[in-house]
Chain A
Amino acid sequence: MARRKILLITTDQQRYDTLGCNGGTLARTPVVDRLAAAGIRYERCSPQSVVCMPSRSTILTGQHPSTHGVWMNGVPLPLNAPSVAELLRISGYRTALVGKPHFQPFFDPFQRFLENSLGDSTVPSGGSHRGFEHLEFATHGPVGPLHYSRWLMAMHPEAVGGFYRVLDDALQVNADGGGATAAPQVHVNPIQREWYHTDWVADRTIAWLDSLAADDDWFCWMSFPDPHHPWDPPESEVGRINWRDVPLPAGYPQNRQQRERILDAKPRHWRMWYDGTLVSNYEAPARWVPATLTDDQVREVNARNAVECELIDEALGRVLARINERGWGSDVDVIFTTDHGELQGDFGLLFKGPYHVDSLMRLPLIWQPAASAQPTSAVVTRPVGLVDIAPTLCAIAGLPAADWMQGASLPVSDTDADARGFERVLTEWDSELFGVGVHLRTITRAGWVLTRYLPGTVHDGTEGELYDTVADPLQQHNRWDDPACAGIRDDLLADLLDNAPPPRQPRLQLEAPV
């Protein structure tokens, strides 16, 4: 008897509230909304890291960053790291990864990282790479030697120069602005829609699916590079949403004094980044000062982000349509999620960094189990994490979760979650670069989010953040020092320490910027 097939869709840096099913009103996402209506929608899914490499490594390994060892971007995941894809492959699944991998750094002039050397072929030597027997890689533009870059260079070289330059002349993340408002990382890209990486990822996924036999068991990780910055979608699509009509986000305090008062109540690296006096988030442009952000820039960034979300939704729709045409419609489990969120104007900030609030930590997660499994649609409010994806894939395939996995198969309802102890989810941040170290440990539990700051460059280890996510959904009121919250703070701190994942020893080294 054939087993259930699996389509795992990840996007990059997509907020919870960008989906219609999660209350979003800007982007139209009917395809994902239908998955949510028919399946299970999770209202409190957190990443275990709010940047790409650690978070993607968690999805693949089912481990927390402390344990798999990718503690910040630029730390490569060892090639012998455990992989859920490998478990599926050796059990007989055909496996593919199409789109953005990012388990190793992209910036690689010595060409030391295998991931950047696989673009010659779609079949890795030795038959598989991290458990994937078919690879077609892409990132946020036509940079580097990945498959998408090679394809665009060969087929449409005139389109290569239309993308945003991700790095500036000093090889820093580019701060140049564009579009109508000169917002950072906004850029007019004249590329035809069909050549943009979102459609390419869908096209290559469809091509791989078409190569399979009808009775193959298969697992495909379709990994869209968008809506991560730069915000340079095909210009032909930008007119879908007039940025001038975009309402400012609820999390964006329009009054400067109010904005700065909120930041000042948080650990001081928040305000220091806002003022441009400390950079601790190496994925944002170092030369951009958030205090310069304007209302119109927030509108334009959000408009372009929404366009990118719509393109993803439509690309996913094409893939699902082909799956139905192949006759697999009732036998495929579809999981849709992302690696982390995006500030997108909240608190007067853009991009991401050591800021453990819902903007970055509340993720879209939808699971539509195969119809053949006779699922019941549900909304799960209990905390789950990306660390639970790998065990879920095992469960779908009828395999036991590996003993190295630290999560559990996703609950199918709150009742199921309560019965299986889904009480808390943990998130970590560590960064150490050029003399600046920042270290956060976070627990999300029972309507609260608590972050403990370990000693670092601008923290002495006594700081923290505590938010009531029900009464303060925008996390604008830090209750860490509120005597009325001392009991819950201490309880969460104890829980955080009791459940800390075991660290990898020795610690892996930072080897590249990103």
Chain B
Amino acid sequence: MTAARGSVRREARIRRPAADIWRWVGDPERLPEWWPGITAAKVDGDERTITLGSGLPMPEKLLTIDDIQHRFQYRITGPLFREHTSTIDVHDLGDDTSLVVYSIDADPATMALVIAGAAGNALEHLRAMLEGES
């Protein structure tokens, strides 16, 4: 915690093949559909601007959208961050389930935890959506 940079991970196992999950996770404009607390996402080239529930806009740079590995990476470029990279990996476990891993690295460390908390909640929301619970 004395270090400025924080690294936090959240994950969820979802009873759907990776390709099904990737249709949501891999589409940068669909974020508000599965992330409670994000009200809008506008994509322009490799730049995305999301709007938080508090009304705060958050500019991002899209780094990786890999349809083969099912890996999504982005960097928040807003003023609250000195550094940030988030990575979402969707691992197909071969039994019609997948493990979705959301990794956040950020400076200040506090923001890594803030994003991780919201991301963990979003993964749970995504799981419920895709498994037909909501």
Contact = CB atoms under 8 A, between A and B. Distances in A.
Interface in B13-42: 36-38
Interface residues of A, number: 27
B2 A109 contact: no
Nearest to B118: A110
B7 A434 contact: yes
A282 interface: yes
A313 B75 CA distance: 50
Given A108-B54, A110-B38, A112-B36, A512 B4 contact: no
Interface string A95-118: 000000000010111111000000
B117 A511 contact: yes
A279 B1 CA distance: 6
A436 to B, nearest CB: 6
A171 B110 contact: yes
B88 interface: no
Contact of B113 (A74, A112, A279, A286): A74
Nearest to B3: A434
A509 B10 contact: yes
A286 B2 contact: yes
B1 A434 contact: yes
B118 A171 contact: no
A171 B37 contact: no
Interface string A270-307: 00000010111010001100000000000000000000
A41 to B, nearest CB: 38
Given A109-B52, A172-B108, A513 B113 contact: yes
A111 B37 contact: yes
B128 interface: no
What DSSP secondary structure best describes chain A's contact surface? Answer: loop
Contact of B110 (A110, A172, A436, A511): A172
Residue from B10, B53, B80, B113 having most chain A Cβ neighbours under 10 A: B113
Nearest to A111: B53
Nearest to A436: B1
B110 A107 contact: yes
A436 B1 CA distance: 8
B100 interface: no
A170 interface: yes
B1 A112 contact: no
A486 interface: no
Given A282-B1, A286-B1, A434 B118 contact: no
A3 B6 CA distance: 53
A433 to B, nearest CB: 6
Nearest to A279: B1
A110 B112 CA distance: 13
Among B8, B109, B117, B120, chain A packs the most CB atoms within 10 A around the CB of: B117
A109 B1 contact: no
Contacts of B6: 434
Contact of A74 (B1, B37, B53, B117): B117
B67 to A, nearest CB: 28
Contacts of B8: 434
A287 B1 CA distance: 10
B7 A109 contact: no
Contacts of B80: 171
B53 to A, nearest CB: 3
B121 interface: yes
Contacts of A434: 1, 3, 6-8, 109, 112-113
Contacts of B114: 107, 109-110, 512-513
A110 B113 CA distance: 12
A509 B117 contact: yes
A394 interface: no
B111 interface: yes
A433 B113 contact: yes
A510 B108 contact: no
Contacts of A276: 2
B56 interface: yes
Interface string A161-176: 0000001001110000
B1 A110 contact: no
A287 B113 CA distance: 18
B1 A510 contact: no
A110 B37 contact: yes
A510 to B, nearest CB: 7
A171 B108 contact: yes
A511 B7 CA distance: 14
Interface string B89-127: 000000000000000000111111110111011000000
A134 B110 CA distance: 32
A111 B118 CA distance: 10
B110 A112 contact: no
Contacts of B4: 170
Given A171-B108, A512-B113, A112 B118 contact: yes
Interface string B51-78: 0111010000000000000000000000
A109 B117 CA distance: 11
> Which of A280, A436, A510, A511 has the most chain B CB within a 10 Å cutoff?
A511
Q: Which of B36, B56, B114 has most A Cβ within 10 Å?
A: B114
3 closest cross-chain pairs (CB), A and B = A511-B117, A110-B37, A111-B53
14 contacts: A74-B113, A110-B37, A110-B118, A111-B37, A112-B121, A170-B108, A286-B2, A433-B1, A433-B113, A434-B7, A434-B109, A434-B112, A510-B117, A513-B114
